[in-house]
Structure 1
Amino acid sequence: MTSGGDDVRLVAGRYQLGNRLGRGGMGTVWRAYDQMLAREVAAKELNVASDDREYQRRLRRAQREARTVARVHHPHVVGVHDLVEHDDRLWIVMELIDGPNLARRIADDGPLTPRHTAALGLQLLGALEAVHAAGALHRDVKPANVLLRRDGSAVLTDFGIAALEDDESLTTTGELLGSIGYMAPERLTAEEVGPPSDLWSLGATLSAVASGVPPFQRATGAAALHAVTFADPEIPERVGPLRPIIEALLNKSPGRRPSAATIGAALRRVADGAEDPGPLPPADTAGDFPATAMDAAATPTDAAGTPTLTAPPTVTTPHSLSGPPTPTAPHTLAGSPTLAGPPSLDREPTVIDKAAASSPPRPRGRSRARTWWWTAGATLAVAALAAGLFFAFGPPSNGDGGDDAAQPSGTSTSKVTVDAGRGWQSATSSPIQKGDRVSVRYTSGTWTVDSTNLPLVGPLGHTAADDQSLRFAWEDCKVKPDVTFGALLGRYPGNPGNPHAVRRAWSFQATRSGTLQLRPNDREGCLDDNKGALTLTVQITH
């Protein structure tokens, strides 16, 4: 770092550093002055390790952050100006937002009213739509990563862990990046992560901003991990009409969360003073609500119709997701009530779990012995995962939910238990006939393929990190090689996908008469150390 005087510090001969604005897991942010363009900026100094491999990894991540933000032009997304290397350090030069982050604002002044929170939510939703339309995910939406301009408008920042959809993942196997209490549950499993994950984080943020308490706040990181993946959110009464919106966004199943258009309409109603946010159908059954760029960036099953990119909002007026900005007066963010004692909106730490970097297992015949070199982050993550990383969903039913609930004519529903210690197991008491429509849905339960070393999980199977730890057994013990150990599998005569990865649900039409069979992804001869069982609901329409 060059110096033009005792108190002058220059980066790349151009950016004069001032006071430190903040520090996080990815680096330190400084106020700086761009001498070439005569303007104030924010310079983010990336934390860089000394070894070459770590340096290159952080260099790629910094480049990714810069590319992500540079592709997004939106009034509620922080702008990036430059990416430089200086004195073996990486620097991202960004737009300077001269205001506090939302977590600090709430800690100092107390939670916002539901109307103010909804107005902020509209701005952040527009920012996320722009991010997703650029083919990126933010992955760390939380109050601490929302800056407030002097006029009270919100700016989404800190894309340090954003992942571009068209680029290879830079997250090492088993590494969890993000803040636990705002991290979507599918990020803790082998399930695909997409735009609905950012919507989950938005829901957790709205709850924290309107109540002062994050919905999954717990005394320890391990307990928070377990709460995110298993427990219902704790949403105080003071969130008022935002409650249905928050509950819908925090649905454990990504496909059951509402679309951005639905959420935008609901938030607009609350911001305008309505006590009822209106209907909140899930994205896969959104019906009359128009598709958006958010839906286009989601998986095919989440998209509905042809995606449309809506006009960007202005800074001073709440935006419309189905047309141009509305000409209404801005929702002011000033004058929020205060609470006694500052709440903590970001007390769960950012987790970087290096558990997967442990020594490779030493096979002893069929046993899956593992040696863990624990770090503090790994202890948090694995302890929580061992507590049970699975989702509990009720089965579809047209009756009272019992095993023999009344069904429409020609439809039968039954429950079946699939044991982790057995191979293929029949899922019906009588053969399925050609032409029958069959639906299999996970109801409850957990299992594991290694009761000595691995946690109990649900139908998605073990995490990618745990699956990698059993790599030595893939060839001998996996039924379906491209699916993680412990994932629920199904097969039916003549089905081209046999064996099929059922996961949470599977529907098909029988092309011939036969018997439906289910099992864990673990072969015969490898089942002696398995434990647990899953309960499934099987519905057959003749």
Structure 2
Amino acid sequence: MTSGGDDIRLIGGRYQLGNRLGRGGMGTVWRAYDQMLAREVAAKELNVASDDREYHRRLRRALREARTVARVRHPHVVGVHDLVEHDDRLWIVMELVDGPNLARQVADDGPLTARRTAALGLQLLGALEAVHAAGALHRDVKPANVLLRRDGSAVLTDFGIAALEDDESLTTAGELLGSIGYMAPERLTTEEAGPPSDLWSLGATLSAVASGVAPFQRATGAAALHAVTFAEPEIPERVGPLRPIVEALLDKSPGQRPSAATVGAALRRVADGAEDPGPLPPADLRGTDFPGTRTDAATATDAGATRTDAADPPTLTAPRTVTAPHTLTGPPTPTAPHPLAGSPTLAGTPTSAGSSAPALDREPTVVDQAAGSPPPRPRGPGPGRARAWWWTAGAALAVAALAAALFFTFGPPFDGDGGDTAQPPATRTSKVTVDATRGWQSATGTPVQKGDEVTVRYTSGTWTVDSANLPFVGPGGHIAVDDQSLRFAWKDCKVNAAATFGALLGRYPGNPGNPHAVHRAWHFQATRPGTLQLRVNDRDGCLDDNKGALTVTVQITH
């Protein structure tokens, strides 16, 4: 409809759409104005598929999302106001949180302190307990799905892939929804997912927010899937007193993870300034249930808010008090800017600036298990540390056997005349920042010599080649979907046509395949003296809308 010659898009006869806030895996979020109640709201437009069957599947999932959130009353869970059908599309009208998401906050201002992270963790833990008490799982807890109010408090949002425990699964057979780096390993195998799965995701989120690096970030979705299923998390020293909490939450076995009450007590100690979070025994050793089980109590209080089911109140068997959020004293206090490390994703979250989620959460979102399922996870008697011990022992034996074979074949590493040992090679290592707004940049202070072994490894940071429309990503560049959106510029703006926009590129004189797609690591031997150069995969005439930088480690062994 029109008014005064200006186009006005009105939804449901009362919600006037404004600018787009963001786009996620399930839909697009718009700023809107509720003309009836004279207030600003957020309107989420469900993505519409081309075929009817897919559309109805998405429609049912959106209805599920709305019902899930609507039955939770909690100060740190986004509120749902209305459900509207307009132009054959479903719109979910929600509370407008006019602030950045947590991933954007960290990307712009650097990782949060351990105390600040713990305070937000307490709020998110309370939100998850309320969701579980309503009989639901969030299934996609990650920094990009946490919005920050102006007072610095957190709001858990984007329940687009949540599923009620007492209903049928709405995911297609062989399909997993969520961000791989934040998905619990049982969701990638045949084990049953439950509230401990959300606690796993909370642990990964805490580590990422406090360090700027997701604990299972990898260059590809397959590598991230393998890391979540088998590898130990990479937890930087920066997380400080949060480390024991994160390690306990990221235990491969759901039953070995601590209960929500235990985690809440530990987070409160860290938020209050303690260097020791206290003991974190696993839930199954304490004989306690996680919230959200069908026998669990359904009442809980948090900062004076009562959790109720507006449509269908559950039967209460016993009262239960959940962890209250830690009170935030003032707005967030960011540390010095620190670039984030990450991998691409298909899911985003609205931000106040209208951009998608940065690299903390940009990991592949949909996995076709039929095309490549991860192998079954080892079911040993102990947690991941025991398996890691056996793998380490096996590797040590293999190395010892190889060393013995080399000894008897070639003799000891002496020259045999003077008994002098061979001199070790000289190695120099340096950190280099590669700016997305510049072209080729020298990565070595002095020229590389012929025969030198050169290794380039990605350390941290994110960038984008289209700051107005595309999310921040790591050295692997933008995902295929985003790269396709820039297909019109492939010919004029790509430096390496075979790599995606935003990929980290390197070149060295005489190397075949220049420019080389570095991704997370690149190793070569110099065939002539020269200078190593690095850059973003975007030509010099196309850099005006770029933003961000990557930090790499360059090691040269002569």
TM-score range, shorter chain: 0.5 to 0.7
Deviation for aligned residue 1:391: 3.8
Equivalent residue, structure 1, for 2:166:
166
Equivalent residue, structure 2, for 1:311:
301
What is the CA–CA distance in structure 1 between the aligned matches of 2:156 and 2:271, rounded to whole Å?
A: 19
Equivalent residue, structure 2, for 1:181:
181
What is the CA–CA distance in structure 2 between the aligned matches of 1:87 and 1:22, rounded to whole Å?
A: 20
What is the CA–CA distance in structure 1 between the aligned matches of 2:336 and 2:389, rounded to whole Å?
A: 47
Alpha-carbon displacement from aligned partner over 1:179-200 (angstroms, at most 9, x marks no partner)? 0100010001111110000000
SS of the aligned residue for 2:333 comes to coil
Deviation for aligned residue 1:246: 0.2
Alpha carbons 2:195, 2:291 under 8 Å: kept: no
Deviation for aligned residue 1:334: 1.8
Indicate yes or no: 2:292 matched with 1:297: yes
In structure 2, relative to structure 1, the CA distance for the partners of 1:248 and 1:309 (3 Å cut) is farther
What is the CA–CA distance in structure 2 between the aligned matches of 1:333 and 1:176, rounded to whole Å?
A: 36
SS of the aligned residue for 1:84 comes to strand
Deviation for aligned residue 1:354: 4.4
Equivalent residue, structure 1, for 2:481:
none
Alpha carbons 2:152, 2:328 under 8 Å: kept: no
Indicate yes or no: 2:260 matched with 1:265: no
In structure 2, give the amino acid aligned to 1:78: V
Equivalent residue, structure 2, for 1:114:
114
In structure 2, relative to structure 1, the CA distance for the partners of 1:138 and 1:277 (3 Å cut) is same
**1:341-420 matches, cutoff 5 A:** 341-344=339-342, 345-354=359-368, 356=370, 378=371, 382=372, 385-386=373-374, 388-391=375-378, 393-395=380-382
Deviation for aligned residue 1:341: 3.1
Deviation for aligned residue 1:297: 2.2
> Which of 334, 337, 348 is the aligned partner of 1:336?
334
SS of the aligned residue for 1:18 comes to strand
What is the CA–CA distance in structure 2 between the aligned matches of 1:43 and 1:265, rounded to whole Å?
A: 36
SS of the aligned residue for 2:94 comes to strand
Equivalent residue, structure 2, for 1:217:
217
Deviation for aligned residue 1:172: 1.2
Deviation for aligned residue 1:75: 0.1
In structure 2, give the amino acid aligned to 1:390: R
Equivalent residue, structure 2, for 1:455:
none
In structure 2, give the amino acid aligned to 1:25: G
Deviation for aligned residue 1:85: 1.3
Runs of 5+ unmatched residues, structure 1: 301-305, 316-320, 357-377, 404-542
TM-score (norm. length: structure 1) = 0.62
Equivalent residue, structure 2, for 1:128:
128
In structure 2, give the amino acid aligned to 1:349: E
In structure 2, relative to structure 1, the CA distance for the partners of 1:338 and 1:265 (3 Å cut) is same
TM-score (norm. length: structure 2) = 0.60
SS of the aligned residue for 2:217 comes to coil
Alpha carbons 2:16, 2:35 under 8 Å: kept: yes
SS of the aligned residue for 2:200 comes to helix
Runs of 5+ unmatched residues, structure 2: 306-319, 343-358, 391-558
In structure 2, relative to structure 1, the CA distance for the partners of 1:135 and 1:325 (3 Å cut) is closer
SS of the aligned residue for 2:9 comes to strand
Alpha carbons 2:119, 2:327 under 8 Å: kept: no
Equivalent residue, structure 2, for 1:65:
65
In structure 2, give the amino acid aligned to 1:120: L
Alpha carbons 2:341, 2:360 under 8 Å: kept: no
What is the CA–CA distance in structure 2 between the aligned matches of 1:334 and 1:66, rounded to whole Å?
A: 30
SS of the aligned residue for 2:247 comes to helix
Please, which moves more after superposition, 329-338 or 262-271?
329-338
SS of the aligned residue for 1:334 comes to coil
In structure 2, give the amino acid aligned to 1:351: T
**1:11-90 matches, cutoff 5 A:** 11-90=11-90
**1:85-104 matches, cutoff 5 A:** 85-104=85-104
Q: Which runs of 4+ in 1 moved over 6 A?
A: none
Deviation for aligned residue 1:136: 0.3
Alpha carbons 1:258, 1:282 under 8 Å: kept: yes
In structure 2, relative to structure 1, the CA distance for the partners of 1:67 and 1:347 (3 Å cut) is closer
What is the CA–CA distance in structure 1 between the aligned matches of 2:302 and 2:158, rounded to whole Å?
A: 21
SS of the aligned residue for 1:176 comes to strand
SS of the aligned residue for 1:31 comes to strand
**1:491-530 matches, cutoff 5 A:** none
What is the CA–CA distance in structure 1 between the aligned matches of 2:340 and 2:182, rounded to whole Å?
A: 19
In structure 2, give the amino acid aligned to 1:86: H
Alpha-carbon displacement from aligned partner over 1:47-89 (angstroms, at most 9, x marks no partner)? 0112111111111111100000000000000000111111121
Alpha carbons 1:20, 1:31 under 8 Å: kept: yes
Deviation for aligned residue 1:8: 1.3
Deviation for aligned residue 1:330: 3.0
Alpha carbons 1:220, 1:348 under 8 Å: kept: no
In structure 2, relative to structure 1, the CA distance for the partners of 1:333 and 1:280 (3 Å cut) is farther
SS of the aligned residue for 2:366 comes to coil
Alpha-carbon displacement from aligned partner over 1:304-329 (angstroms, at most 9, x marks no partner)? xx7574421269xxxxx957859x86
In structure 2, relative to structure 1, the CA distance for the partners of 1:241 and 1:311 (3 Å cut) is same
Alpha carbons 1:226, 1:389 under 8 Å: kept: no
What is the CA–CA distance in structure 1 between the aligned matches of 2:233 and 2:73, rounded to whole Å?
A: 33
Deviation for aligned residue 1:25: 1.2
Aligned-pair identity in percent equals 74
In structure 2, relative to structure 1, the CA distance for the partners of 1:276 and 1:247 (3 Å cut) is same
Alpha-carbon displacement from aligned partner over 1:98-123 (angstroms, at most 9, x marks no partner)? 00000000000000000000000000
Deviation for aligned residue 1:11: 1.2
What is the CA–CA distance in structure 2 between the aligned matches of 1:91 and 1:329, rounded to whole Å?
A: 34
Alpha-carbon displacement from aligned partner over 1:208-251 (angstroms, at most 9, x marks no partner)? 00000000001111100000000000000010010000000000
Deviation for aligned residue 1:296: 4.3
In structure 2, give the amino acid aligned to 1:330: L
Q: Highest relative contact order (Cα 8 Å, sep 6+), 1 or 2?
A: 2
What is the CA–CA distance in structure 2 between the aligned matches of 1:101 and 1:92, rounded to whole Å?
A: 19
In structure 2, relative to structure 1, the CA distance for the partners of 1:45 and 1:253 (3 Å cut) is same
Equivalent residue, structure 2, for 1:278:
278
Alpha carbons 1:29, 1:45 under 8 Å: kept: yes
In structure 2, relative to structure 1, the CA distance for the partners of 1:244 and 1:324 (3 Å cut) is closer
What is the CA–CA distance in structure 2 between the aligned matches of 1:199 and 1:266, rounded to whole Å?
A: 14
In structure 2, relative to structure 1, the CA distance for the partners of 1:227 and 1:268 (3 Å cut) is same
In structure 2, relative to structure 1, the CA distance for the partners of 1:36 and 1:307 (3 Å cut) is closer
Equivalent residue, structure 1, for 2:501:
none
In structure 2, relative to structure 1, the CA distance for the partners of 1:311 and 1:32 (3 Å cut) is same
Alpha-carbon displacement from aligned partner over 1:460-508 (angstroms, at most 9, x marks no partner)? xxxxxxxxxxxxxxxxxxxxxxxxxxxxxxxxxxxxxxxxxxxxxxxxx
SS of the aligned residue for 2:22 comes to strand
Alpha carbons 2:133, 2:293 under 8 Å: kept: no
What is the CA–CA distance in structure 1 between the aligned matches of 2:125 and 2:378, rounded to whole Å?
A: 26
In structure 1, give the amino acid aligned to 2:154: A
Please, which moves more after superposition, 194-203 or 87-96?
87-96
SS of the aligned residue for 1:42 comes to strand
